[in-house]
Amino acid sequence: MGIIMGSSSDWGTMEHAARTLQDLGVAHETRVVSAHRTPDLLFKYALEAESRGIEVIIAGAGGAAHLPGMTASKTVLPVLGVPVESKALHGLDSLLSIAQMPGGVPVGTLAIGKAGAINAALLAAAILGAKHAEIREALRSFRSRQTARVLESPNPAAGAVRLEQADTAGAKRVPKNAKRKSA
């Protein structure tokens, strides 16, 4: 699996893809490959990926995010795009740049930011899972653990109850004359 990104500034987002793959035990590499600043490297990476044994490419980029689309144009491997949240437009520019590919060269586009990076890794694992049974089982186990975590903590107010108990122990957080919010 290859995880590429347009800038080292994208790492804060893309590390979530890398961590998720690590949790699943999926071998991967991470590289900065910029569509605008290192276009020759981008072509080389995309052209050689298949012969190097890469099976899916996750590409994250922000702003005028050409990296996923240009990578997809130079390989027939599946390319999953992660729109990195930009400062100016909060990632909407990245999302549209990645999602709105013309017909003929697809990029599987995920959500903006951390959720997209995590889901890109999970979707990439699902794609690989069709061929590699151990990855499919790792994914199944990830889902079971996630479900168990939710079922183990059904009451979202449990934390609030603990806070109330702390208050009665001495530290009042809300002044007595404060108005209560209606439900």
Strands ordered across the beta sheet of 29-32: 29-32, 2-5, 57-62, 79-84, 108-109
Per CB under 6 A, the segment of 5-13, 39-47, 115-123, 125-133 that binds ligand RP5 is 5-13
Q: Does 135 contact ligand RP5 by CB under 6 A?
A: no
Nearest to ligand RP5 of 70, 127 (CB atom):
70
Q: Which amino acid is at 35?
A: A
State the Cα–Cα distance between residues 138 and 175, nearest whole angstrom.
50
Using DSSP bridges, classify how beta strands 57-62 and 2-5 pair: parallel, antiparallel or unpaired: parallel
Residues making up the chain, counted from first to last: 183
Q: Quick one: which of 2, 3, 4, 6 contacts ligand RP5 (CB under 6 A)?
A: 6
State the Cα–Cα distance between residues 90 and 50, nearest whole angstrom.
33
Per CB under 6 A, the segment of 3-11, 98-106, 116-124, 171-179 that binds ligand RP5 is 3-11
Beta pairing partners, 3 = 30, 58
Nearest residue to ligand RP5 by CB is: 6
State the Cα–Cα distance between residues 122 and 21, nearest whole angstrom.
8
Q: Quick one: which of 4, 10, 16, 116 contacts ligand RP5 (CB under 6 A)?
A: 10
Nearest to ligand RP5 of 24, 110 (CB atom):
110
Structural tokens at position 124: 């990439």
**31-90: which residues touch ligand RP5 (CB under 6 A)?**
34, 36, 61-63, 84
**81-120: which residues touch ligand RP5 (CB under 6 A)?**
84
| Binding footprint of ligand RP5 on the chain (CB under 6 A) | 5-7, 9-10, 34, 36, 61-63, 84
